[in-house]
Amino acid sequence: MDDQGFGLLLEDEIDAGQAHRLLESIGFADTQAAWVCIKRLASKSDIKDTLANLLPHLFLTLSGAASPDRALVSFERFVNRSSASSDIFRDLAGNPRTVEILVSLFSASRFLTEILLNNPETYKQLAEHKRLAQPKDASQLDEEIRATIAAFDQADEKLDALRRFQRLELLRIGACDLLDLFDLTAATAQLSNLADSLVRACLEIASARAHISTSGFGIIAMGKLGGKELNY
């Protein structure tokens, strides 16, 4: 299918049969739902032109996805959650690799999808392969956590900040795992390092809240965490 054929899906004149045939050729199981989804995206007057530029590579990528239907629905949710959808469409139209990463994530993992949908502004970080795939040791994670919670005074606020940090790190690790930037050993080591640092941070928060020193107090990790083999 050429670029012009994809563009027909944005036109009001296209008949239902033609639209369904186009969408079926891409691999959608529910062509009606996919067409409705595309029409909703196209109804946003501020992004229709940029959507037309994006569609060819988006559909090409969707055609190779494990679940094109789920990926398209998640893509629409991603656009709707974003504060500047027109900027995102322009960015994606010029960065096909980012489109491929998003479709892979949306198609393969509901867990990672939900993290990204709740933090849509982080999508650009997923395209920074060299930075994304740089392993973090415990000391680096400790430093990042301290910087994250330093802006808050209350224990509950610090814990909320820790939870946000955890979700974003899980997105980073999970994306690297999904994109084959980490092998199994690297992914489990990163998850274990993250857990270690989060436990240390929680201990420090509890210590400050209870006014009790952590001196002489230890937390012993058993099983998969103790063996640096933690999974998701």
- Model confidence pLDDT, tens digit, residues 116-128: 999 998 998 888 8
The pLDDT, as a whole number, for residue 131 is 87
Q: How many CA atoms lie within 13 A of 26 on its CB side?
A: 31
What are the DSSP calls for 148-214, one per residue? HHTT--SHHHHHHHHHHHHHHHHHHHHHHHHTTSS-HHHHHHHHHHHHHHHHHHHHHHHHHHHT---
10 and 118 inside one domain: yes
- Domain end, chosen from 127, 156, 174, is at 127
Tokens in use for 102? 């998003």
Residue type, 196: D
- Domain end, chosen from 84, 107, 127, is at 127
Predicted TM-score (pTM) of the model is: 0.84
The pLDDT, as a whole number, for residue 42 is 81
Boundaries of domain holding 29: 3-127
71 and 47 inside one domain: yes
92 and 137 inside one domain: no
232 part of a folded domain: no
How many domains does the chain contain in total? 2
121 and 144 inside one domain: no
- Domain end, chosen from 93, 127, 161, is at 127
Give average pLDDT by consecutive 10-residue segment, the chain, 232 residues. Answer: 61 80 92 91 73 86 94 94 81 90 94 94 85 92 96 95 96 94 94 95 93 86 84 86
- Rounded to the nearest 10 degrees, the angle between the axes of helix 31-42 and helix 16-26 is 100
The pLDDT, as a whole number, for residue 68 is 96
164 and 98 inside one domain: no
The pLDDT, as a whole number, for residue 45 is 56
Q: How far is CA 195 from CA 90, 136, 203, 230, in A?
A: 37, 12, 12, 8
